Structure 1
Amino acid sequence: MKDVQEQKDYRNVYLNEVGIKKLNFFIDIKKKDGTWETTKAVIGMSVDLDESQKGTHMSRFVDVIQDNNRLDFNNMDNTLKIIRDRLEAKNSYINLKFDYFIQKEAPVSKKISYLDVGVDYKAWLKDDNFISEMTVNIPITTLCPCSKEISNYSAHNQRANVALTIRTDKFIWIEDLVKIAEESSSSPIYAMLKRPDEKYVTEYAFDHPKFVEDVCRDVKLKLDKFKNIKNYEVEVESYESIHNHSAYAKVIY
């Protein structure tokens, strides 16, 4: 059969990226403890296209991910090399959006539950240089220092979100980023708490009041200790319980 994609194109226009987007497929992710987690991902893959080639071979992208759906993020440059070589290109790109589950132990009952965090992972191999960018959305609790200071008892508290975006040439474990966000918060979030746990978490948050500004600054100082991070962005949004707006802070490095 005639291979139309391999035909010559005479318009002399190089395309930076061609490929597929929004492919729903399951992937196995290697966790920090060495075990594997299966989750559904929304996947995009692309390569560059030489100005002389009419089109790329779209079906090969699906072949690649079906044959290489077990992903070790410490070894993603090899996956990108497979994409590049299979598509006969110079540069390759991948984008994965998925939920990642963190095993958590309740502070008093020690009950195990699983907290899901949203991950948007991008990586590219360009001119044989590997770089990755990852955004992790981590739920936390914030308790208002001002509310605590001016009230005779109690203080307003609410769920918040820390969005960490890091660009690096070496993988930073998702678990480590979750730990940074939680240690910078008034209290971590848990999927399951018994009554003794609820008492502990409530009182812990009361003893660790944080503005969104506090969380943002504390996260930044912790990220500064990672030498492999080239750039990062921290966004903290607190879904206020007594206001009809969110509180927000951001820092870019």
Structure 2
Amino acid sequence: MILPDVQATPDERGVALDEVGIEELRYPLLVADGQGAKRETVATVSMSVTLDARVKGAHLSRFVEVLHAWRDQLAPDTALGLVEDLRGRMGTGRAQVRLQFPYFLERPAPVTGARSFSEYGCALAATATTDSAWLELTVRVPVTSVCPCSKAISDRGAHNQRGYITITARPATDADLWFDELIDVAEASASSPVYALLKRPDERHVTMAGYDNPVFVEDMARNVAVALRADPRIASFRVRVMNDESIHNHAAYALLGWAAAAGSPA
């Protein structure tokens, strides 16, 4: 029995569509990390293609077929392979894939070396056209910051709070860049990283190290910018820092919009 392919039938209205696809799909993946391992995670997925004015619809089943074929090998090169595969399978001029997922790295505590997993919110966006393909990497990194003003005006102590540094970076062509490096930059730009496991000697170290390195949200955003501008693997980037203030009833934030980095063409 031959079933009709309704999506492939002609459309006479003369309207091309910029994006047609699927979104809010939850799917298990294996994601490579910079520690030589693959981590199991579950991504929230959106995938889309352009649709020619003459074509009635996209074959939505092919989106999941492509994702399933690449599900166990997500890394910088294979992410571009995934989106190129999607574009070829769909026979379109442009394809996009966005994957958002928790990303886990094993971290040692600063003094005792006790190991635990830290979670980071990450997203990968891959785009392919007929003549180029590129990635965007996003990390949302929890950090601790100690207030410089509070330290300067107080006889004892200083208020500190949990903050989040969000970096989106576009790697330069053929650059070997992954989430780990962006996470390291974010953590180094704050008063202290956040750890899942701290023993008493570690807690003492983190408390005093943060006190010795107070930063405003402005400082953290600028610290990140300085580090990323100097990295030849990065073409451009965006930074947003937010502190959930501990002694105010508001949050504080600083934003640097898209900025060119060393990896940008002259």
Q: Does 1:30 align with 2:32?
A: yes
Task: Structure 1 unaligned segments of length 5 or more: list them.
Answer: none
Q: Does 1:110 align with 2:113?
A: yes
Q: Does 1:84 align with 2:87?
A: yes
Match of 1:187 among 192, 209, 228: 192
Q: What CA distance in whole angstroms lies between the structure 1 residues aligned with 2:47 and 2:256?
A: 30
Q: What CA distance in whole angstroms lies between the structure 1 residues aligned with 2:99 and 2:44?
A: 6
1:9 alignment counterpart: 11
**Deviation at residue 92 of structure 1 after TM alignment:** 1.1
**Deviation at residue 132 of structure 1 after TM alignment:** 1.7
1:49 alignment counterpart: 51
Q: What CA distance in whole angstroms lies between the structure 2 residues aligned with 1:125 and 1:37?
A: 25
Identity %: 40
Does the 8 Å CA contact 2:145/2:163 hold for their aligned counterparts?
yes
What secondary structure does 2:111 align onto?
coil
What secondary structure does 2:183 align onto?
helix
What secondary structure does 1:242 align onto?
coil
1:68 alignment counterpart: 70
Deviates more, 1:56-65 or 1:170-179: 170-179
- Deviations 1:191-233, CA, capped at 9 Å, x for gaps: 1111111111001101111111111111100000122423211
How many residue pairs were aligned?
Answer: 253
Match of 1:221 among 209, 218, 226: 226
TM-score calculated relative to the size of structure 2: 0.91
Q: What CA distance in whole angstroms lies between the structure 2 residues aligned with 1:227 and 1:82?
A: 28
Task: Structure 2 unaligned segments of length 5 or more: list them.
Answer: 260-266
What value does the CA root-mean-square deviation take over the aligned residues? Answer: 1.3
1:100 alignment counterpart: 103
Instruction: Supply the AA of the counterpart residue of 2:59.
Output: H
**Deviation at residue 171 of structure 1 after TM alignment:** 5.3
1:248 alignment counterpart: 253
What secondary structure does 2:78 align onto?
helix
What secondary structure does 1:219 align onto?
helix
Does the 8 Å CA contact 2:137/2:179 hold for their aligned counterparts?
no
2:216 alignment counterpart: 211
Does the 8 Å CA contact 2:140/2:166 hold for their aligned counterparts?
yes
Q: What CA distance in whole angstroms lies between the structure 2 residues aligned with 1:29 and 1:61?
A: 19
- Deviations 1:175-198, CA, capped at 9 Å, x for gaps: 111111111110110011111111
Instruction: Supply the AA of the counterpart residue of 2:235.
Output: K
Q: What CA distance in whole angstroms lies between the structure 1 residues aligned with 2:223 and 2:75?
A: 29
**Deviation at residue 235 of structure 1 after TM alignment:** 0.8
- Deviations 1:155-176, CA, capped at 9 Å, x for gaps: 1011111011112344522111
Q: What CA distance in whole angstroms lies between the structure 1 residues aligned with 2:212 and 2:147?
A: 11
Q: What CA distance in whole angstroms lies between the structure 2 residues aligned with 1:244 and 1:32?
A: 38
- Deviations 1:124-155, CA, capped at 9 Å, x for gaps: 00222112222210000000111111111111
- Deviations 1:96-127, CA, capped at 9 Å, x for gaps: 01000121100111110111111122110022
What secondary structure does 1:16 align onto?
strand
TM-score calculated relative to the size of structure 1: 0.96
1:239 alignment counterpart: 244
